[in-house]
Structure 1
Amino acid sequence: MKQPKRVTIYDIAKKLNLNPSSVSRALNNGGNVSIATKQLILKTAEEMNYKVNSVAANLRTGNNQTIGVIVPHINQNFFSNVIAGIEEVTYQKGYSLVICQSNESAEREIKCVDTLTNQHVSCIIISVSADFKDSSHLENIQKQGIPLIQFDRVADELDTMKVLNDNESAAMEAVSHMIAQGYKRIALLEGPQNLNIFRQRKAGYLKAMKKHNLPVIPELIMENAWTKELGATATRTLLKLAEPPDAIFASTSDFAALGALEVATEMNIQVPQQLGICGYSNESFGTIANPSITTIDQHSILMGKTIAQLYFNEPDSGISISENQIVSIRPELIIRNSTLK
């Protein structure tokens, strides 16, 4: 089916036999147009279903009340909640969001950045992809004078506003909780170590083990186990060891924890009696899993609100901003049945 042509000011001008500049002035409340002519132009524009080209208008005025957001996944609870928090603040300010998904691809992330800069958005907010390699495309945002705010997964070397979680402390608390429950051989499902968040969570795991005088066993640390499928594969490997773990900290996500839980169920291993499982990010399915999954809530809606408030330079009084423009939000350990031995 052929799409109808978009009505322009030139179409209105042609129909009324007027100069396009006169039509433009009437539609934009400009001067030098009689009241009668203005009323005729407005009536005709409505009849022809004319819509303002906001992109073109923003280019003329230099005022684009649109903010671009780039996330790895839109359908994950953490990222969707961050977007909801951003939108709650931006809507009140009369701003709109353009949301792009990198799908964990650096190539797609670069294309998202190009799309948003070409639209002359007022600000770009980003959490980088797992495939992130270098920050040259982010540096280009700054070179074009567009404010850049990073959150969660960030390029540490870039001097931008950043909103982060205290991942290291949260991971340390989660592992310490499992140790307190009597687990001793605690495995780690870790994510790509090129990303700041997964390095920090691994550091928290190592600190907790050291603090409680438990050995760090290399074969219990599984690399890049950060999806449900990869978490399941890693868990099968771990549970087939001569000395399998008695607990798994899925520091990457609740999806990896769910993969671990499903494998344990398949192998008739009782959770939490024989195997404790802790996830990360507080996905909605965690409460309905059997058993329910212990996790870490990153306060994602608060993170989103904080990001937007930083852009408008109106942070809440309770928010502490460091000298290098970094805000750290403390996550919360949520203890459920999967680790209550």
Structure 2
Amino acid sequence: MKAKKRTTIYDIAEKLNITASSVSRALNNSSHVNEETKKLVLKTAAELNYKRNILASNLRKGESKTIGIVVPRINQNIFSNVIAGIEETTYSKDYNLIICQSNESHEKEVKSVNALINQHVDCIVISVAAEGSDYSHLQNVIDHGIKLIQFDRVADDLETLKVLNDNHQASLEGITHMIEQGYKRIALLEGPQNLDIFRQRKQGYLEALKLHNLPIINELIIENAWTKELGADATRKLLNLPKPPDAIFASTSDFSALGVLEVATSMGIKVPSELGILGYSNEPFTELTSPSITTIDQFSHYMGKTIANLYFQESENKESPIVPRTISVKPKLIIRASTSRRSYK
């Protein structure tokens, strides 16, 4: 079946025997068109089922009223909540969102960013993938005059607007809590160290151990254990050591912490009396596991609203160049059963 041809202002003009420019002015409620003509144009447009091309109209005004978002995984709590926070703020201003996920692939991230550039979005909001260290595609965004806001995972050397958590402080507080609960051999499941957020979380872990005069034991630090499966593999390795840890900080995500909990349960290790578990991100399931998982809330919905408001603030100052700056959102330690060792003695 042949698709029906889209009605244009030229179709309306032809039916009314007037110019297309007159139709355009009438549809835009111009004072240069009399009321009778406006009513006739609107009536005919409705009869012909005319739909305005909002994107083309906005582009003529120098904007698309569209924001592109690129995240590693849409189904992770931080990223879905950031998107929700952005949408909540942009909806009231008639902005549209185009959402892409990289699935942690640098190649897919580059393709998504280039596609958004070609769609003339006004702004690109991104949290970079774990893969890759070449961020020339993000410089390309800036070179095209498109606003760029990075959040959570960022290209450190690229000077842009950034919205971040204080990952160092959050980890420091989390490990301090575990030490106060009596844990002494605390293992770390770390994320890819090419990303600043995971370096900061590791630094917070190391600082907490030093502040409490606990030794840094290299065999208790496992690289790139940042998924549920990798977290589980790392936990098996740790718990089979001659001197296993009495606590594990899954600094990468709660999914990794879930892998820790499942392995501990399968091995008959009691949580939290024999093993403490600390995750990161406050995924909804952390309240529902048995025991519930202590985690760190990143206030991701608030981060999303902060990102959107930052964009609109910058948009109001069209004549002034964007001054790169970083806005920090303080995370919060959520203490649950998986580290509440004192109450279980």
Give the TM-score normalised by structure 1: 0.91
User: In 2, Cα distance between the equivalents of 1:44 and 1:107?
Assistant: 48
Shift of 1:78: 0.9
For the pair 1:70 / 2:70, whether they are aligned, the reply is yes
Q: Does the CA-based 8 Å contact 1:55-1:119 persist in structure 2?
A: no
Q: Structure 1 142/324 Cα, relative in aligned 2: closer, same or farther at 3 Å?
A: closer
Distance in 1 between residues matched to 2:268 and 2:2, nearest whole Å: 58
Aligned amino acid, residue 25 of structure 2: R
Q: Higher mean Cα deviation, 271-280 or 205-214?
A: 205-214
2:193 matched to which residue of 1? 193
The answer to whether the aligner puts 1:251 opposite 2:251 as a matched pair is yes
Q: Distance in 2 between matches of 1:209 and 1:59?
A: 55
Q: Which runs of 5+ in 1 are unaligned?
A: 315-322
CA separation of 1:258/1:4 partners in 2, compared to 1, >3 Å: closer, same or farther?
A: farther
Give, in whole Å, the separation in 2 of the partners of 1:84 and 1:215: 42
Closer/same/farther in 2, CA of residues 5 and 132 from structure 1, 3 Å limit:
farther
User: Where do 1:161-172 residues align within 5 Å?
Assistant: 161-172=161-172
Q: How do 1:46-65 and structure 2 match up within 5 A?
A: 46-65=46-65
Deviates more, 1:249-258 or 1:82-91: 82-91
How far has the Cα of 1:199 moved from its partner?
Answer: 0.6
Rounded Cα–Cα distance in structure 1 between residues aligned with 2:2 and 2:294: 53
Between 81-90 and 325-334, report the one with greater CA deviation: 81-90
1:112 aligned to 2:98?
no
With over 3 angstroms needed to count, the CA separation of the structure-2 counterparts of 1:3 and 1:131, relative to structure 1, is farther
Deviation at 1:2, TM superposition (A): 5.7
Within a 5 Å distance, the mapping from 1:95-110 to structure 2 comes to 95-110=95-110
Give, in whole Å, the separation in 2 of the partners of 1:50 and 1:269.
67
Question: How many percent identity over aligned positions?
Answer: 68
Q: Distance in 1 between matches of 2:93 and 2:38?
A: 30
Amino acid in structure 2 at the alignment position of 1:227 = T
Counterpart for residue 202 of structure 1: 202
User: Paired residue for 1:319?
Assistant: none
Asked whether 1:279 is paired with 2:279, we answer yes
Kindly provide the CA deviation profile for residues 164-210 of structure 1, in whole angstroms up to 9, marking residues without a partner as x.
11101111111111111111111111111111100100111111111
The reply to whether residue 146 of structure 1 matches residue 154 of structure 2 is no
Instruction: Please state whether the residue corresponding to 1:312 is helix, strand or coil.
Output: helix
| C-alpha displacement of 1:337 | 0.2
- Distance in 2 (CA, whole Å) between partners of 1:193 and 1:336 is 28
Give the alignment of 1:168-247 within 5 angstroms.
Answer: 168-247=168-247
Q: Distance in 2 between matches of 1:281 and 1:262?
A: 18
Q: Runs of 4+ in structure 1 displaced over 6 angstroms? A: none
Name the SS of the counterpart of 1:313 in structure 2: helix
Helix, strand or coil: the match of 2:313? coil
Matching residue's letter, 1:235: T
Paired position in structure 1 for 2:290: 290
**Amino acid of the residue matched to residue 259 of structure 1?**
G
Structure 1 180/119 Cα, relative in aligned 2: closer, same or farther at 3 Å?
same
CA contact (8 A) 1:126 1:150 kept: yes
Query: For residue 319 of structure 2, what is the aligned residue in structure 1?
Result: none
3-state SS in 2 of match to 1:277: strand
Gaps (5+ residues) in structure 2?
A: 315-322
RMSD of the alignment, in Å? 1.9
Q: Output the amino acid matched with 2:258.
A: L
Q: CA deviation at 1:64?
A: 2.5
- 2:330 corresponds to which residue? 330
> Over residues 8-57 of structure 1, what are the superposed CA-to-partner deviations in whole Å (9 max), with x where a residue is unaligned?
22343445555433332332234665544433332222233221112211
Aligned residues: 333
Q: C-alpha separation between the residues in 2 aligned to 1:167 and 1:327?
A: 13
Give secondary structure in 1 for the equivalent of 2:248: strand
Residues 14-33 of structure 1: pairs in structure 2 closer than 5 A: 14-30=14-30, 33=33
